[in-house]
Amino acid sequence: MSLDIKYFEEMEAKIPRGKVRTRFAPSPTGYMHVGNLRTALYTWLIARNAGGTFILRIEDTDQGRLVEGATDVIYKTLAECHLDHDEGPDVGGPVAPYIQSQRRDTYGKYARLLVEKGHAYYCFCEKAESGEDSGDFDRADDPCRALSLAEAQARVDAGEPYVIRQRIPKEGTTTFHDAIFGDITVENKTLDDQVLIKRDGMPTYNFANVIDDHLMGITHVVRGSEYLSSAPKYNLLYEGFGWDIPTYVHCSPVMRDAQNKMSKRHGDPSYEDLKDQGFLTGAILNYVALLGWSPRGDIAEQEVFSLDELARAFDLAGMSKSPAIFDIEKLTHFNALYLRAMSPEAFARAAEPYIRQAVKDLSVEEIAALLQARCEKLTDIPEKVAFFQALPEYGVDLFTNKKSKTNPEVSRAMLEAAIPMLEGLSGWTQEAIHDGLTALAEKLEVKNATLMWPVRIAAAGQAVTPGGAVEICRILGRDETLRRLRLGLEKLA
């Protein structure tokens, strides 16, 4: 069967050239794990730093692993993270389609072209395709490798089932260059003749990747370092076609600890999980950017970056060969910084659903104002503010505080003085409550803390609270504050 050379010329003519083009190419197999998010981020940053094009491609050739709704998770995550793509299945572009299963005919044509060029061959053996990477396949035993093209074509034309395999040179070495790891050389005899086209006509991941990256004009291929072992075979495919080889960027793994890679199977969090745990998208992205990359020069000490600042600062020279350990405490630190940096209005909006989990009627804005400087994760909020809704059970031992110089007797005297004073205030404002309590402390000849501690314990029923006695009383309102203070006094009687 002769090949239509005009088809290949037209495909070449479509390829955009002259600027940096990167792609994020996830498989729709479920959640977006942290390593995947980092790949998307780095790929986006390389494109944006160079004023280039960022492409989304959906790699669904492994139909058995597809998960319903997983493509929507990819779109939703990229949108939430503001990693906008210039080309993709939903926005189109000059090298559509951007979904691999819709490009099936293309792969078959290029595989046959590679056969004609002598860099691939038809294989009629019964070997199970799933065992390809197990190392069991010895190409020296494959009789199909020795078939002439005419013999093989006759068997194909007769309807015999086949796969198409890459013909790896038996002798010599293959050297490829990686932007992070440098030059790596492997002996060709250690590489297997991998399957390029399966019996069902679908391409393998490794083949589809190379064809699409070339036809989409991809200049930088960002992927995990677990693909370093496949890179020589990719190189040989590019060389077999006579194509330019893109810049390889193999990222070191994200680890749970020194020994173990992060994995959903072991309960490690995905992006969605981290959101559910109360982490902000901006903090997650900022932290993930620094898992394997460090800023250099004047900004070497900078920790907090907006997405725009990351795009300006990002360079391949700052990337590390060493695995990065995902530290939830460090992410929590970043999250706290991001929460503090929000405007009060933005923080109140973000905090509202968490406040409302615990507190039904009181002012969200007033409670949020107490929380912003005292909150590391949004999910901390319900527990911190539940006392506003209902006074928890507490013991009289809370009224004892060495620093405030209080014990049950002192606390009883303070509440006995505070209750009538608060009852008699003309207005229930922050200022009125504060001035009333400080004037009372002066009159009683005690430090402010000696009066404030028992008032706060009686009002909140717990030792650690967002905000002090004044703010808590103000938010609770006069009637509820006095009710709680009288209950505290009864405990101390």
Active site residues: 264
CA quadruple 31, 34, 35, 37: dihedral sign: positive
Secondary structure percentages of the chain, helix, strand, coil, to 5: 55, 10, 35
Residue 277 phi, psi (nearest 5): -85, 5
Q: What angle do CA 296, 302, 306 make, to 5 degrees?
A: 105
Burial label, 262 (beta-carbon count in 10 A; 0-12, 13-18, 19+):
buried
| CB neighbour list of residue 449: distance below 8 Å, 6 or more residues apart | 403, 404, 405
Residue owning tokens 């009224």 = 399
Q: Rounded to whole angstroms, what are the CA distances from 401 to 316, 450, 463?
A: 55, 9, 10
Ramachandran assignment for 18, one of left (phi > 0), alpha (psi -120 to 50 degrees), beta (any other): left
- For the record, the structure tokens of 86 come out as 């210039």
Torsion of CA 233, 236, 238, 242, to 10 degrees: -170
Tell me how far the alpha carbon of residue 292 is from its chain's centroid: 13
Nearest to 414 by CA among 426, 401, 427: 401
CA quadruple 114, 115, 121, 126: dihedral sign: positive
